[in-house]
A and B are shown apart, each in its own frame.
Chain A
Amino acid sequence: MEQFVQQIINGLSLGAIYALIALGYTMVYGILRLINFAHGDVYMVGAFVGFYVVRWMAPASPSGFGLLIISIAAAMVACGILGFIIERAAYRPLRRAPRLNALITAIGVSLLLENLGQLVFGADPKDFPALVERTTFTLGIITISNIQVIVLLTAVLLTIALQFIVHRTRMGTAMRAVSFSHDAAGLMGININRVISFTFVLGSMLAAAAGILVGLYNPKIDPLMGIMPGLKAFVAAVLGGIGNIPGAILGGVIMGIAETMTVGYLSSTYRDAITFVILVAVLLFRPTGLLGTPQRTKF
């Protein structure tokens, strides 16, 4: 029982990270019907930006928390710009092209980021500096580390902020309108290109935050670190119902818990397989995901 509860807690914090990445996938898919394969690599860039910011600023600023906030903010800004550039340079010219071309371009951008990353950051894994000293709290049978608390809190805060943007601001209303129908939204005077750019920026910022959180949680970062979490977050988005924001969070949490359970009770060699078993099962039995609504699309 104790171990079970512990696995749930570990799974929740891992799932929170997946959920943050999954949000970016789901928003982009909701608006463009495009699987942005490069999204996992944006998350990798976020982790590295955080890494360098911490390395440059660490001597000047002794306070771990302040540094953490600064590195998250810097990574979010940098990745927001990166997301903007990717959309502008690679995806926008293909907006009217067959979806296969867009998908392959996304794969190309992903490979480009991975290989540029190896060139710029070096291919060897780096140790993300420990910004916060690890302590654990015990509450009855629950043991939770302060890092897990930070991860969960940050994820919850960012999710609330996102919900606010999507449901309470003009831009959010425009996003929802564009995801409903590009043409109709355009006729209503919405600048579609701006909304799509905004969506990419927002999604990339969330991925950047996830990158830093992973750096805290699991201190090895390398240029290929985005591939697996990227795929898993995508599966999380599909599981929750792609295009659906609460679904992405639910999917992320389920994926995180499923993964820690597999490692805890079965074997760590099946860690990555469970993701794909879930994926295939969802696609076969409920292709629209848990919270997705069936839609009649033809492509």
Chain B
Amino acid sequence: MAASTPKPQTGARTLAWVGVYLAALILLGQLVIPQLNPYHTQILILIGINITLAVSLNLVLGFAGQFSIGHAGFMALGGYTSAAMSHYVFEPLVVGQTGLAYGLFVNGYFAASLLSGGIMAAVAGLLVGIPTLRLRGDYLAIATLGMGEIIRVVILNTDLVGGARGFGDIPPWTTFTWVFMIAGICILVVRNLIDSTFGRALIAVREDEDAASAMGINTTRFKVLAFVLGAFFAGVAGGLQGHYIQYLHTNSFTFLRSIEIIVFVVLGGSGSITGSVIAAAVLTILPEFLRVAQSWRMVIYSTLLVVMMLTRPRGLMGGTEFQWSWLLPGRKS
């Protein structure tokens, strides 16, 4: 495992990468995206949202080794909170603003709205995580599944956010740049975390919880922290989805959605951020290609999942990460 983790980068290099990434995003968002047709833009945005979800779940499932099937519940909680904040609080504040002021206000408020969704999901993650993470393996999976469903049913019975009718009238603030900025932040945070003492402790917990505990690692603390951070990004992703589709319904957050995210992580290779990114992108596009085989789409998809588990149980990337040296000829490390 240790051999495959990327070398820690220096702060300056990371900062340079962040700058290049942001500049590229803003350029793409301003120049290229407006030229694309809405269908392609939509697929790109869904890819970005799914990348955030996959990478955040990978922290819990791949790095900490905790099998959680409740990710969609946190996504729902964050999405609804963020949508409610925008709808009830922030949108009235931007009415009447125009031009540059409007742009500044909207983006500032959107950041606050996403953050509130993320924090709400993180708090729920904390409340759910502390008791359930004492459980292991299958029991944890089932408990998180139950928690996710409970969150869903509670939202379904909350009239303030539309209850069974769903929640409409969410301002359309999600843009390409926003989605990939969040995905970038998520990747950066998870990646740097994995390279830290925190990450080593998480991996130790995954490899052997009892041994990690015997080495003096407070396993519960690390598991809960990973869980909370995963929930936070799931919540933010939910916010992005709500502000893109402009409508939320609890039916989009059933345990099937959680499973979809798990599939991204497992097929990409649990414990590989690169794998999660690739799998989220490929598996978002694949069903679009399979539209020709409309009714067979999900059959092919689920068969693929089983066959993949049988033939390549460690996923596409295994536990390895992409490295630039792969692209250089003759210097395979």
Which residues of A come within 8 Å of B, CB atoms?
33, 35, 90, 93-94, 97-101, 103-105, 107-109, 111-112, 114-116, 118-119, 231, 234-235, 238, 269-270, 272-273, 275-277, 279-280, 283-284, 287, 298-299
User: A238-B142, A280-B147 are known contacts. Are A111 and B301 too (CB-CB below 8 A)?
Assistant: yes
User: By the criterion CB–CB under 8 Å, are A111 and B298 in contact?
Assistant: yes
User: A279-B143, A279-B146 are known contacts. Are A269 and B157 too (CB-CB below 8 A)?
Assistant: yes
Which residue of B has the minimal Cβ distance to A277?
B150
B299 within 8 Å of A (CB atoms) = yes
Contact string against A for B residues 115-144, beta-carbon threshold 8 Å, 1 for contact and 0 otherwise: 000000000000000011001111101110
Which residues of B come within 8 Å of A, CB atoms?
67, 131-132, 135-139, 141-143, 145-147, 149-150, 153-154, 156-157, 164, 210, 259, 262-263, 266, 270, 295-296, 298-299, 301-303, 305-306, 309-310, 313
User: By the criterion CB–CB under 8 Å, are A273 and B299 in contact?
Assistant: no
Cα of A98 to Cα of B149 in the assembled complex, Å: 26
User: By the criterion CB–CB under 8 Å, are B138 and A276 in contact?
Assistant: no
User: By the criterion CB–CB under 8 Å, are A99 and B137 in contact?
Assistant: yes
Cα of A118 to Cα of B294 in the assembled complex, Å: 12
User: By the criterion CB–CB under 8 Å, are B259 and A111 in contact?
Assistant: yes
User: By the criterion CB–CB under 8 Å, are B306 and A105 in contact?
Assistant: yes
Cα of A115 to Cα of B303 in the assembled complex, Å: 10
- List 26 interface pairs A-B (beta carbons < 8 Å), by A numbering: A94-B309, A94-B310, A99-B138, A100-B266, A100-B270, A103-B67, A103-B141, A105-B310, A107-B259, A109-B306, A111-B298, A112-B299, A112-B302, A114-B298, A115-B302, A118-B295, A119-B296, A269-B164, A273-B154, A275-B146, A276-B150, A283-B143, A284-B131, A284-B132, A284-B143, A287-B139
Which residue of A has the minimal Cβ distance to B65?
A100
User: By the criterion CB–CB under 8 Å, are B306 and A273 in contact?
Assistant: no
User: By the criterion CB–CB under 8 Å, are A287 and B138 in contact?
Assistant: no
User: A35-B142, A93-B310, A104-B262 are known contacts. Are A116 and B299 too (CB-CB below 8 A)?
Assistant: yes
The one of B131, B132, B139, B153 that contacts A272, using a Cβ cutoff of 8 Å: B153
Given A115-B302, A277-B146, 14 further pairs, Cβ under 8 A: A33-B138, A94-B313, A101-B309, A103-B138, A107-B259, A111-B259, A111-B301, A112-B299, A112-B306, A118-B295, A269-B156, A275-B146, A276-B153, A283-B146
Which residue of B has the minimal Cβ distance to A285?
B131
**CB neighbours of B210 from chain A (8 A):** 298
User: By the criterion CB–CB under 8 Å, are A104 and B138 in contact?
Assistant: no
Count A-B contacts at CB 8 Å: 112
Which residue of A has the minimal Cβ distance to B144?
A280
**CB neighbours of A33 from chain B (8 A):** 138
Cα of A299 to Cα of B135 in the assembled complex, Å: 11
User: A100-B67, A283-B139 are known contacts. Are A112 and B303 too (CB-CB below 8 A)?
Assistant: yes
Chain A nearest Cβ from B308, distance in angstroms: 8
Cα of A33 to Cα of B141 in the assembled complex, Å: 14
User: By the criterion CB–CB under 8 Å, are B302 and A111 in contact?
Assistant: yes
The one of A101, A112, A238, A275 that contacts B313, using a Cβ cutoff of 8 Å: A101
User: A111-B259, A283-B143, A287-B135 are known contacts. Are A270 and B157 too (CB-CB below 8 A)?
Assistant: yes
Chain B nearest Cβ from A106, distance in angstroms: 9
User: By the criterion CB–CB under 8 Å, are A283 and B136 in contact?
Assistant: no
Cα of A116 to Cα of B301 in the assembled complex, Å: 11
User: By the criterion CB–CB under 8 Å, are A115 and B149 in contact?
Assistant: no
User: By the criterion CB–CB under 8 Å, are A90 and B143 in contact?
Assistant: no
**CB neighbours of B296 from chain A (8 A):** 119
Which residue of B has the minimal Cβ distance to A98?
B313
Chain A nearest Cβ from B266, distance in angstroms: 5
Cα of A275 to Cα of B67 in the assembled complex, Å: 21
Cα of A106 to Cα of B82 in the assembled complex, Å: 34
**CB neighbours of B146 from chain A (8 A):** 235, 275-277, 279-280, 283
User: By the criterion CB–CB under 8 Å, are A90 and B153 in contact?
Assistant: no
User: By the criterion CB–CB under 8 Å, are A119 and B153 in contact?
Assistant: no
The one of B150, B156, B266, B298 that contacts A104, using a Cβ cutoff of 8 Å: B266
Chain B nearest Cβ from A296, distance in angstroms: 11
Chain A nearest Cβ from B89, distance in angstroms: 28
Cα of A109 to Cα of B310 in the assembled complex, Å: 12
Cα of A100 to Cα of B271 in the assembled complex, Å: 13
**CB neighbours of B147 from chain A (8 A):** 276, 280
Cα of A107 to Cα of B296 in the assembled complex, Å: 18
Cα of A99 to Cα of B299 in the assembled complex, Å: 24
Cα of A118 to Cα of B146 in the assembled complex, Å: 26
Point out which of B67, B146, B298 has the most chain A C-beta atoms below 10 A from its C-beta: B146
Cα of A114 to Cα of B256 in the assembled complex, Å: 12
The one of B132, B143, B309 that contacts A105, using a Cβ cutoff of 8 Å: B309
Chain B nearest Cβ from A122, distance in angstroms: 10
Cα of A101 to Cα of B314 in the assembled complex, Å: 9
Cα of A116 to Cα of B299 in the assembled complex, Å: 6
Which residue of A has the minimal Cβ distance to B306?
A108
Chain B nearest Cβ from A139, distance in angstroms: 36
**CB neighbours of A118 from chain B (8 A):** 295, 298
Which residue of B has the minimal Cβ distance to A102?
B309
Chain B nearest Cβ from A85, distance in angstroms: 12
User: By the criterion CB–CB under 8 Å, are B67 and A273 in contact?
Assistant: no
**CB neighbours of B150 from chain A (8 A):** 273, 276-277, 280
Cα of A94 to Cα of B139 in the assembled complex, Å: 20
User: By the criterion CB–CB under 8 Å, are A269 and B309 in contact?
Assistant: no
**CB neighbours of B310 from chain A (8 A):** 90, 93-94, 105
User: By the criterion CB–CB under 8 Å, are B153 and A270 in contact?
Assistant: yes
User: By the criterion CB–CB under 8 Å, are A272 and B137 in contact?
Assistant: no
**CB neighbours of A270 from chain B (8 A):** 153, 157
Which residue of B has the minimal Cβ distance to A267?
B157
User: A104-B266, A287-B135 are known contacts. Are A272 and B149 too (CB-CB below 8 A)?
Assistant: yes
The 10 closest A-B pairs by CB, nearest first: A276-B146, A111-B302, A108-B305, A273-B153, A115-B298, A108-B306, A112-B302, A279-B146, A105-B309, A115-B299
